[in-house]
Structures are given as structure tokens and as C-alpha cells.
Amino acid sequence: MTVAVNVSRFEGITMAPPDPILGVSEAFKADTDEKKLNLGVGAYRTEELQPYVLKVVEKAENLMLERGENKEYLPIEGLAAFNKATAELLFGADNPVIKQQRVATVQSLSGTGSLRLAAALIERYFPGAKVLISSPTWGNHKNIFDDARVPWSEYRYYDPKTVGLDFEGMIADIKDAPEGSFILLHGCAHNPTGIDPNPEQWEKIANVIQKKNHIPFFDVAYQGFASGSLDADAGSVRLFAARGMELLVAQSYSKNLGLYAERIGAINVVCSTADAATRVKSQLKQLARLMYSNPPVHGAKIVANIVSDPALFNDWKAEMEMMAGRIKNVRQKLNDSLSAKDKSGKDWSFILKQIGMFSFTGLSKTQSENMTNKWHVYMTKDGRISLAGLNLAKCEYLADAIVDSYHNVS
């Protein structure tokens, strides 16, 4: 016999809004038009617009299968071999911060999880301290700091007039922030704009951060994916570390190893002493325990296997160059198509200057909506397109859509 359920205490719960980024893919799936193009979420696609599992990953998984390892809990801080490999990848194995054991590294749930752990650490040990995030930034940054109860404000970053970096605005806003703020920086391939500071600008940013006694907090989600070189893409982080600064770095292997769904990344905290690093690591573990006890093992083993085997590591570097190379080709073709089709003389070359998976087109919200409604091109409403979802064959169609939306929609 089933008795009717009491009036639910969840009566007043309303539908949450669709996620602005992940919701795009869902809408794309529902569209039946054959011309549709998914330039929403930043997941790499091949030239045939298919998802891509890296060959090195397949090799690593087969090795793991053959070995038949057990599935015991990882320690709270994650797989030791992975933690070692990931810090070395980021800083370079010979970096003093590594040799002096000054980096606290904890495996986390990809970039999101790493950011969340760092946010929890900030909330606990720097109550009231603010995080400054770029305007614009990845949509989930705000949610993470909100849910972790860390106050945030924005620093100027994107200049719509030049479709480039508002460097003066950025420096001014960092200078104005209360001393001891955390400055969230994208290590390379800024999301969503694709606009990165050049090395000289990075030096100036480091100067003002040091002067104001702020703490740099890097989000590195595209190491290797931006330029094709792992070392080059870690340049900004290494520049700051070389100055002896303490800093935080959130890492992700979602894109550069295509391990999106395995949720593999790490939070790194570079401290001025090994003792501080030990203490910080112990507190990060405490925070992780409250969220999920210990991190998932599968992705960590894949990464550790690849990075520790010279042959696999080389294979990985080659595949990454290939992926970054495809993106660069697509940028070139898109730039050429836009120049050819847009008779107004507008300069579209910012597409070539930007780097990484994303391009900030400069399209407004209504223009972006036109892209979707009229042209079945799926993108986020901030004007961001994921070039990873574009191939050479579709560049002309996309150029038509962009030119139409930019000039004919206000």
C-alpha cells in the first residue's frame, strides 16, 4: 500500500537556469538543421569534427589494463606519481621551487576542482580577502568563488575597441585593489578572449602585483594547447616563480590530454619555505576530504604513465603540436574568409593575434543570438567561439554568419 507523499518541502524550488556554457551543447544536440555548427564548449574536435581520444591515452589505458592494477582509494592528496609529474610539467623539473620542495600539490577534479579547493583555502585562511577576476572570464569562476563564499571583483581586461588587451586598465585595477588581494590570471590562452599579455606585459603585471603585495593565482587549463609547446605555455607561471613569489596554480588535463570526462587536474601552491608547503598541503587535504574524500584514480594514472615514459611523452608532445596546429590553421582560414567576405574593410586580424581554443569575436549578445537563430551556429552569448569545433570546410559558412550578424544586427 502506498500512502500519498506529504506536501513536499521542496515545493518552492524553481528550475535553475541552464548553464551558459554546457547548456549550449544541449541546445545544439536538439537542433536538427544539417548546417548546424557547435562552437560552444571548448572540447577539441578533429578536422572531421569528431571528438578525439589521443593515441597516447589509448596506449596508456591498454598498459593499465594489461597490468590489472587495483582500484583502492588514492590518498586524499591523490596519486603521488601524478602529483610529482604535474608539478614538474608546470615548473620544469630543475626549477628551484621543485628542488627546494616548496610546492604543495594536490590532485583535484580538473580545473574546476582545483579552483574550488584553492577558493576554500582562501576563505578559511584569508577571510575577507578578495579575488580579482578578469572582465570577462570563464563563466564558472564567479560561481566557484560565490559558492566558496570568497568575495570577488573584476579587473579590466578586454578592450572592445581594439578587440585586444586593455593593459592600462588592467594595471590600474590591480593597483587599486586592497593590498593582499588574490589576482586570478589565465596562464595562457585566456578564456574566453584568446588574448594573452606578451612577456613584457607579464613583467609589468608581476611588478604591480609584488608592489601591492597581492598574491598571483593562475588558472592553467591549456598548457601545451596554446602555442603547441608545454614549456612555452608555462612561461608566465615560471616568470612569476623565478621572482621568488608565492603563488597558486590550478591545472587541468581536460584539453591538452583530451581527458575531459576523467576530471584530472591539480592545485599547486608555491610557498617560500618547504615547511609552509607541507602545512598548506595538509590543509588542502582537509578541505578535499569534506568534498569527496579522495580524487578519482583513472585519469591520474593515465597522466602519470604518459609523463613518466619518454616515448609516450614524446608522442604526447607531437599530438599536442598537431592539435594546436589545427587550431592555428583554422584561425588563418577564418581570417582569410572574413577578409574576403567583409567588404566594409573591418580589420578581422585579431583572430590571428588571439591564441588557444577560443576567439572573442566582438559580437554582442543579440548578434550572438542571431548566429544561433539564423545560422545554427552555437556559441556563448558573450561572443566567444570555440575554434576547436571549427574545421577548414566550414570557415566560409562561419564567415558569412559572422559578417551578417556583425553588420546587420544591432
- Min dist CB 406 to other proteins, Å, is 30
- Min dist CB 115 to other proteins, Å, is 9
- Min dist CB 156 to other proteins, Å, is 23
Interface with other proteins, residue 11, by CB under 8 A: yes
Known active-site residue 382: no
Interface with other proteins, residue 296, by CB under 8 A: yes
CA distances from 367 to 85, 118, 251, 389 (A): 44, 36, 33, 19
Interface with other proteins, residue 5, by CB under 8 A: yes
Taking CB under 8 A as the binding criterion, the range among 3-11, 158-166, 307-315, 386-394 that sits at the site for other proteins is 3-11
Known active-site residue 255: yes
Residue (51 or 325) nearer to other proteins, CB: 51
Active-site residue identified among 59, 138, 173, 394: 138
Choose, by CB under 8 A, the member of 165, 220, 271, 355 that binds other proteins.
271
Residues 233-252 that bind other proteins (CB under 8 A): 242-246
Residues 63-122 that bind other proteins (CB under 8 A): 65, 68, 70-76, 96, 100, 102, 109-110, 112-113, 116
Site track 16-45 with other proteins (rule: CB under 8 A), x = hit? x--x--x---x--------------x-x--
Choose, by CB under 8 A, the member of 290, 344, 345, 410 that binds other proteins.
290
Residues 140-179 that bind other proteins (CB under 8 A): 140, 143-144, 146-148, 179
Residue (236 or 361) nearer to other proteins, CB: 236
Known active-site residue 173: no
Interface with other proteins, residue 62, by CB under 8 A: yes
Active-site residue identified among 255, 281, 333, 394: 255
Q: Which residues are catalytic?
A: 138, 219, 255
